[in-house]
Each structure stands twice: as structure tokens, then as C-alpha cells.
Structure 1
Amino acid sequence: MEVFTRWQEEGKIRYGGVSNFSVAQMEESLKTFPIVCNQVGYNLFNRQPEEEMFPFCRKHGVGIMAYASLASGLLTGTMTADTKFEEDDWRRNVYKRWNNPLFEGEHFIRNLEIVEKLKEIADSRGKTVA
């Protein structure tokens, strides 16, 4: 955060934001620099930020910028049980690394079933799942 502070003092930046910071990291960072935004993964399958991050950011006036809002394609409604991800496809490997098997095995099948139910609701309203 010292770099952010120096850059701000030098007029190189007006504001600073972070990505995937935990509440503990945010607390520590806010001691030395006024962070304006934390970018976090957030979607119907990953609502974890609602537990601690959203309340913390609201309390401290820090904005949230969500990424993967369509669950990296899962919530587009275009995937099927036949969808296969190559070994080097980041959706297969990144989620495995984060201990979130969104696109793997039975988890993937269950998630597709959820998306199918969402499709029914969306169709009845003339909308798409996305």
C-alpha cells in the first residue's frame, strides 16, 4: 500500500483498488491507504462475499466490483452434460485450485440441473438465464 500512497502523492493515481482481498487484508490496507474498490468473484454459485466482505465494504465505504457474474459461462444456459473442458481450460483448473469444483463431475451435473430450473423460470418471463 506504500506504493499506492506514493503514487497518489506524485499525482500518478487518484484512487486505488484491489482484487480478491480478504477482510483481514482490507483492514490492514485501509490503515495506510483509502482503497475505493475490491474486485471479487460473485454469482449465484458463489455467494460467499455476502457473509463478510459485503458488510465490511459497506461499513467502510469501499465499492465492490464483481467478476464471473455468469459463473464463467455456466449461467449463460448454453452448457450441457456433454460439455467437456480441456485439461488447459482455466475453468477446469482454476476452480480445482480454489477447491470449488463448479465444472467437475457430479458437481457440474448438479449445477446444470440448477441452471435448467433457472431456464424454466426465465422462459416463463420471456428472459434468458443470463
Structure 2
Amino acid sequence: MRDKETSLADRLSTAAKAKQILLEKARAKAAHNDPGFAERQAARHVAAIEREARAAERKKAKLADAAREAAERVAAEDARLRALEAEQEAKKMEAIERAAREVAAEAERKAARDARYAARKARKK
């Protein structure tokens, strides 16, 4: 029975040989040993560069849209402020015209009142 049992040293050497065989198989199957590996790596690299270029284009377009929208907002705000200023100026001019009409009407009423007073004085004489 003892003949069939293996010693610790035998078991360790068998395990080491098995690990070595597995390691050699893995090295044989390694990607860098594959003839198409370099082509695939180059294709992946080109795809990554193209992907980055598309992302940069999207970012550039997004920034351009944001700048355009900001310019439109500024222009709209400027137009709104100009319209508000024009409205205020029109109200001011209207108030000045109204005041001028009131002064002119008051002058007419005073002239009419003075004319009546003068006519009354003339009748009494």
C-alpha cells in the first residue's frame, strides 16, 4: 500500500510541472503572439481616436450653441431695454405735451377772463 502512496516531494513536483505546462499553454495563446494582434490593436486605437474626435466635435457644437443662445439672450434683453427706454421717453414726451396743452388752455382761459373783465370795465365807462 505504501508503494502507491506518493511522497510530499512527488506531489509538489507534479504540481509544479502541471503549473509549468499551464503557464506554457497560456504563453502560447498570449495575444501578442497572435499575428492579427497588432492589426486589432491598431484598429482599436483608430476607433478610439475617431470616438474622441466625434466627442470633441459634439462638445464644440454644444459650446457654439450655448454661445449663440447667450448672444440671442443678450440681443433680446438689449431690445427689451431699448423698447422700455423708448416707451419711457414716449410717456415723458406725452406728459410734456399734456403740460404744454394745459398751460396753453390756462393762458386761453386767462385771456378770455381778461377780455370779459375788460369788456365789463368798458361797459361801465
Q: TM-score, normalised by structure 1?
A: 0.19
Higher strand residue share: 1
Higher helix residue share: 2
Larger RCO: 1 or 2 (CA < 8 Å, sep 6+)? 1
Q: TM-score, normalised by structure 2?
A: 0.19
